[in-house]
Chain A
Amino acid sequence: MNTWVNTLFQAATFKTTAFESVARRRDAFYFGFVTIVAIALIVALPSFIGQLVDSVVPTPPDAAQEAMRSVEQVFSQISPFMRDMTPEARQAILDQIDQFIEFGAQVAQQIEAVPRVFPAPIDGIFKSIGSYLSKPFADTRLPLAGVTLGTWLGYGIWVMLFARLLGGRAGLVSFFGTTALYVVPFLLAFFSFVPIVGPLLSLTAFVWGIAIYVKATAVSQEMSYGRSIAAMFLPLLVAAIIGLLIAGSIGALIGLSVTSN
């Protein structure tokens, strides 16, 4: 345990020996897996506790008013785009939304009272635990933007492929073992619930994680930082080009069918 924590700390401070020691491990892939699962669960702990408390404590009656306040806030933010709308029309839309939210809140309250095999709070507790334990297994929209097995493996196989094409020499075990270290800075995301500071810490973790990934790729593949960065960004570039080509083809097809009609 001490060695594990020490390795993680040294990796966070970019000590080459930490990356080399992981790359040499026979069980480097297992090490990476355990690291990701453990850190994902640590980071998600505050939101899990919050969810768990919410599931046990009954929903406050002013939840509908709170939702309505959020809608009004959104409305005031998008009001510059609704210049043509009269204040009466805007108020009518707000009243309609208010009515729907009120209706939704009442339905939710009635459903909450429906009898079931287990008492009502159990469902909320199950959902909180299920959601919490799902964290390491989730997908992320942006590569390396979260502590998940999905981004580690899904993005990793492409980086591995391009690294090998660029002359890299790592095996799958050492590559995945070392690149898993990118999750260490995400421990900062433990404080993501803190207003203003939280999102900044998460952003810092993301950038710091990318830097560690560059180092991990370079060390495990025995290649320069330049090649390591290229191996990391080429998959994104290829994906962007393919995306543009597909979007362009669909656009051209739509254009053709419109003009032929």
Chain B
Amino acid sequence: MGYRTLSLDLVLRALFLDDRAFDQMRDDDNPFVEGLFLVVIIAALTAVFALIGESLAWASSPRIADIKQVVFEMLRQAPWMADTFANPQALQSFLPGWDQAWNILPTIFGAPSPLTSAVNILAWPFFGIIAWLVYGIVAHLIARLFDGVGSLSQTLGVTALAFAPWMFHGLQLVPYLVLGGFVATWQLILRYKAIRSVHQLSWDRAMWVTVLPFLILITLAVLVGGSIAALTAIILGRR
């Protein structure tokens, strides 16, 4: 049974950039397991809080089906729609687009959806783990190229602390609360602190190790996306 380093106090200290929190995680006997547990627990708990907030918003707002019905009835009486409603053919061509719009628009405009939020209880930990592993492994390889000294387990364990700002998503317990882009920036700062702590790099090297995984992954995504688009165009062009 290994020693348990992880605690709420440690996560809060990491959140507010306390160097000792990162060092403590680095020196744990199994940082990888602690990191995995941290990512899962933060993602799952915040998703539960967000579900409560979303459910409250859903319960306080009218059903989408009722709104659709009200708007439809009002349109039926609107003078500029009289021709459409009087002509069965025009109405037949109007209705599919109308239904399609009501399937898409509520989601785009952020209508409360407890079902989507419930799915997030599984989706957030899953994608959190993927993001954590991909970033951690790429950052570790780059750090070693830059003469970093930490192990992969340490890199993954300490970079898991960069998920601490994700806790702000738990504030979505309050219905209609919106978070801006600061969470991602805060996570970036914590990743830098984590890389510096684990690999004992100078500030400029640690900075490059922090941002290069993003640049590499974006470049890869663009290349793969471009190749797929080009292949599709070639295949379609042959038909």
Contacts and interface: CB of A to CB of B under 8 A. Distances in A.
A116 B180 contact: no
B94 interface: no
Given A126-B57, A153-B185, A133 B74 contact: no
Interface string A1-38: 00000000000000000000000001101100100000
Provide the main secondary structure of the chain A interface.
helix
A158 to B, nearest CB: 10
A50 B74 CA distance: 31
Interface stretch (A117-125, A183-191, A253-261): A117-125
A148 B178 CA distance: 13
Nearest to A126: B175
Interface in A127-185: 127, 129-131, 133-134, 137-139, 148-150, 152-154, 157, 161, 164, 172-173, 176
Instruction: Bin chain A's interface residue count.
Output: 35 or more
Interface stretch (A64-72, A107-115, A208-216): A107-115
A131 B62 CA distance: 19
Contacts of A173: 17
Contacts of A137: 168, 171, 177-180, 182
Interface string B163-181: 0000010010011111111
B93 interface: no
Interface of B: 16-18, 56-63, 66-67, 70-71, 73-74, 78-80, 168, 171, 174-182, 185-186, 188-189, 192-193, 203-204, 207
Interface of A: 26-27, 29-30, 33, 99, 103, 106-107, 110-111, 114-118, 122-123, 126-127, 129-131, 133-134, 137-139, 148-150, 152-154, 157, 161, 164, 172-173, 176
9 contacts: A114-B66, A127-B175, A130-B176, A131-B178, A134-B177, A134-B178, A138-B178, A148-B180, A173-B17
